Amino acid sequence: MQEILNRILEDCRRYTLEGEVASYIPELGKGNREAIGIYAATDEGDFFAGDWDEPFTIQSIAKPIFLMLAVRDNGIDVVKQHVGVEATGKPFNAIDYAEPLLLREHINPMVNIGAIAVCGLVKAADNRERFARLLDFTRRITGNPDLEVDQEVYDSEKKTGNKNRALGYLLKNSGMIYGSVEDLLDVYFAMCSLKVNCRDLARIGLLLAAHGTDRETGEQIIPREEAVFINAVLMTSGMYDGSGEFATTVGIPAKSGVGGGIMADCPGRMGIGIFSPALDKKGNSVAGIKMLERLSREMQLSIF
C-alpha cells in the first residue's frame, strides 16, 4: 500500500500545475498550489505520502459533518423534509433556485444553500452552543482534540461571504431557518474554516466506511442506517456538479472542498484524505481527483 501511494503521488504531482487556487475567499488565494498529500486509513494500518500533514481549511467537507449531526438529532425523515437529496446539476454556490415551495425539492445538503439549512437543524439553545457541538463532534470523529478555527480564513470568509448571506436570507424568507441569519452564518463560516490535514479527513472517511463504527473503540458513533444515507448523498452530490463524472471514474463516496481537500471512503475498506489546492472550474482538486482515479483503478475500489 505504501509503495502504491508513493508512486501515485509522484505520478500525479504534475497535475498541481493545472487548475487555480481558490481566490474568491482572499485568504485561500495564498495557498501553495504545488502542495500535494494523501493519507489512507485502513484496518491494517495507516499509509501516507507527500504533504499529508500540511494544514488547510476544511471548507465544504464540513457539509457531511452538518448532515451527520443533523440526522443524529432529528432522524433522516425530518432532514429530508427540509432538503432534498437529488443532485442539483448546479455550481455549489448557485442561487438561482425556485422559491419558496419548490426550494426544498431543488437543494441538497452538499451545496451551500442546503448545507446552511442543514446546519440550522443541529439542535442547540443558541448558535454558540451549535458551533460548540459541531466542533466537539468533529474533534471526536477525526480523533483530533486540537482542531481549531483558522482565524484569518474565518475573517476572510465572513468579510466576503455575501453570496452565502443571500442564500441564508432566501432560506429565511422561505421559512427554512429560524432565528438570526447572521448568527447561523457565523457557525457556517467558522466550521468551514477549521484547520485539518489529510489524516483528519481520512479518519472521517474511515468512520463512514465502517458504517458509523469507530474502528478503534468499536463504538457506534453514527447508526448504520444514517451512515448508509450519508454515503449515498456523498456518492450522488459530494463532488459538486462533477459528481456524475467522479462516480464513473472513481466510484466511491467523497466530498471535496475549495481549500483543496477531498475526503473519500471505500465502504468496508478504508478512509482517504487528499490535499492539493489547485482546483478545476467546478471547485475540485485537479491532482486530488487524479490520485483517486489511479488509486481506485489499481486497488479496484469502485463500489460499482
Q: Which helix H or strand E contains 144, and what residues bound it?
A: none
What is residue 43's predicted lDDT score, i.e. its pLDDT?
A: 87
Beta pairing class for 278-279 and 56-57 = unpaired
Let me know if 255 is a catalytic residue: no
Q: Is 134 within the bounds of a domain?
A: yes
Average pLDDT score over residue span 50-76: 98
What is residue 101's predicted lDDT score, i.e. its pLDDT?
A: 46
Q: Is 276 within the bounds of a domain?
A: yes
Residues 67, 178 share a domain: yes
Asked whether the predicted pLDDT for residue 97 surpasses 50, the reply is yes
List phi, psi (to 5°) of 196: -135, 175
Residues 291, 254 share a domain: yes
Which among 192, 217, 248 is the end of a domain? 192
Active-site option among 63, 158, 255, 290: 63
Let me know if 60 is a catalytic residue: yes
What is residue 99's predicted lDDT score, i.e. its pLDDT?
A: 55
What CATH number is associated with residue 113? 1.10.1500.10
User: In this predicted model, what pLDDT tens digit does every residue of 135-165 receive, in sequence order?
Assistant: 999 999 999 999 999 999 999 999 999 999 9
Residues 173, 80 share a domain: yes
Which among 192, 211, 227 is the end of a domain? 192
Residues 77, 186 share a domain: yes
Residues 46, 88 share a domain: no
Residues 207, 109 share a domain: no
Asked whether the predicted pLDDT for residue 94 surpasses 70, the reply is no
Rounded to the nearest 5 degrees, what angle is found at the Cα of 234, between the Cα atoms of 283 and 145?
85
Percent of the chain with pLDDT over 90: 87
What CATH number is associated with residue 246? 3.40.710.10
Q: C-alpha grid cell for residue 135?
A: 466542533
Active-site option among 15, 39, 97, 240: 240
Residues 69, 163 share a domain: yes
Which among 192, 222, 241 is the end of a domain? 192
User: In this predicted model, what pLDDT tens digit does every residue of 271-303 receive, in sequence order?
Assistant: 999 999 999 999 999 999 999 999 999 999 999
User: In this predicted model, what pLDDT tens digit does every residue of 222-270 receive, in sequence order?
Assistant: 999 999 999 999 999 999 989 999 999 999 999 999 999 999 999 999 9
Within a 10 A sphere around the Cβ of 303, how many other Cβ atoms? 15
Let me know if 63 is a catalytic residue: yes
Asked whether the predicted pLDDT for residue 33 surpasses 50, the reply is yes
pLDDT band for position 107 (cuts 50, 70, 90)? confident
Residues of the domain holding 136: 61-192
Let me know if 228 is a catalytic residue: no
Q: Is 33 within the bounds of a domain?
A: yes
Residues 238, 259 share a domain: yes
Q: Is 304 within the bounds of a domain?
A: no
Exposure string over 32-53, b if 16+ CB within 10 A, otherwise e? ebebbbbbbbbeeebbbbbbbe
Residues 82, 54 share a domain: no
Let me know if 39 is a catalytic residue: no
Q: Is 202 within the bounds of a domain?
A: yes
Residues 47, 66 share a domain: no
Active-site option among 60, 174, 237, 276: 60
The residues, ordered by sequence, that sit 6+ positions from 217 with a Cβ below 8 Å of its Cβ are: none
Average pLDDT score over residue span 13-36: 94
Active-site option among 188, 193, 250, 256: 188
